[in-house]
């Protein structure tokens, strides 16, 4: 069987590129342990009300001894709880979210804040607000009939 020289060359280049990709994946993901930033922490979504961290009286804003702030919120059809929060500007804020039912998402328009909230896991984002004002918190994962009404509000004060 005759294979044209040009075809052979291109087949070689394609295989070379495929090989390069496999080498990059193996080299970065497996040998150097590089992967997308994520906080793999599991939690029983059916027992949040009994958990040490996400029981109703533990939700909201907590000031840490070093001046930073931790915010604990529960997402559930159809709202983020607590509904209203006040946070300081120019302060390190650690958001910790859990879902009590299905997959939800958090999006704050005009910021780069966005994460999924997958039931069974704690979603954590560390950030800071540089400008005072009202920041809506919207759900950006379709979660049911009330999805469009799933929102909350964060007031940032300087
Ligand atoms: Cu929650 Cu959409």
Which residue's CA is the nearest one to ligand 1's atom 1? 104
The sign of the dihedral angle between the CA atoms of 14, 19, 25, 28 is negative
Nearest ligand 1 atom, CA 143:
2
| Residues 73 and 95 occupy one common structural domain | yes
Ligand 1: nearest atom to the Cα of 150: 1
Confidence of residue 31 (pLDDT cuts 50, 70, 90): confident
- pLDDT of the residue at 39: 64
> Quick check: is 24 in a domain?
yes
Supply the pLDDT for residue 50: 87
| Percentage of the chain exceeding pLDDT 90 | 71
Q: Which atom number of ligand 1 is nearest to the Cα of residue 103?
A: 1
CATH of the domain at 57: 2.60.40.420
Spatial separation of the C-alpha atoms in residues 25 and 141, rounded to whole Å: 29
Q: Residue 152's domain spans which residues?
A: 45-157
Instruction: Please give the mean pLDDT across all residues of the chain.
Output: 91
120-130 as b/e: b if 16+ CB within 10 A: ebbbbbeeebe
Question: 136 alpha carbon to ligand 1 midpoint, in Å?
Answer: 14
Residue 57 maps to a domain:
yes
Q: Which residues line ligand 1 (CB under 6 A)?
A: 104, 139, 141-143, 147, 150
**Do 95 and 133 fall within a single domain?**
yes
pLDDT of 34 higher than 80: no
Q: Tell me: the pLDDT tens digits for 56-80? A: 999 999 999 999 999 999 999 999 9
ipTM of the shown complex: 0.98
């Amino acid at each position: 069987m005759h294979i044209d020289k040009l075809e052979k060359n291109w087949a070689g280049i394609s295989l070379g590129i495929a090989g390069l990709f496999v080498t990059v994946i193996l080299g970065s993901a497996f040998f150097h342990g590089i992967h997308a930033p994520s906080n793999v922490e599991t939690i029983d979504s059916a027992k949040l009300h009994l958990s040490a961290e996400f029981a109703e009286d533990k939700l909201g804003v907590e000031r840490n001894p070093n001046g930073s702030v931790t915010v604990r919120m529960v997402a559930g059809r159809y709202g983020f709880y607590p509904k209203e929060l006040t946070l300081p500007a120019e302060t390190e804020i650690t958001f910790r979210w859990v879902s009590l039912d299905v997959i939800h998402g958090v999006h704050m328009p005009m910021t780069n804040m966005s994460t999924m909230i997958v039931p069974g896991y704690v979603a954590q984002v560390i950030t800071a607000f540089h400008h005072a004002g009202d920041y809506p918190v919207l759900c950006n994962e379709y979660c049911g009939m009330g999805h469009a009404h799933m929102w909350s509000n964060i007031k940032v004060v300087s």
